[in-house]
Amino acid sequence: MQTEAAARELGQLGLLDALDYLVLLAAEAPERYDRAAQRWLSRLLDESKDLTSDEVTVALGCLRGLAAGYGEESREVLRAVVKRRHGSRGQ
């Protein structure tokens, strides 16, 4: 998969770049999406200690939305959550 090779070349991706990769993975390799989504959510929780329970619920719902075909909408909400907690550091 070309996106995976590109991600490896970039090394450790920021949360927003990893989210973009996750969107591609949901579309191109759905059989690998769940595990990757779990890792992304774990990173979000580790790197965003001040997330509210509502933000965690929204993030989980959006990750499910990515798998269900609501890629653009879900990605935009997830990007907003990351930016709210990290500003430009999420890159």
| Buried-state track 11-39, b at ≥16 Cβ within 10 A, e below 16 | eebbbbebbbbbbbbbeeeeeebeebbee
pLDDT tens digits along 30-72: 999 999 999 999 999 999 989 999 999 999 999 999 999 999 9
- Residue 35's domain comprises 2-90
Tell whether pTM > 0.85: no
Angle at which helix 30-47 crosses helix 53-67, to 10 degrees, equals 160
Beta strands in the chain (DSSP E): none
For the chain, the domain total comes to 1
Is pLDDT of 4 > 70?
A: no
Residue at token pair 């075909």: 69
Is pLDDT of 78 > 90?
A: yes
> Which has the minimum average pLDDT: 9-13, 68-72, 87-91?
87-91
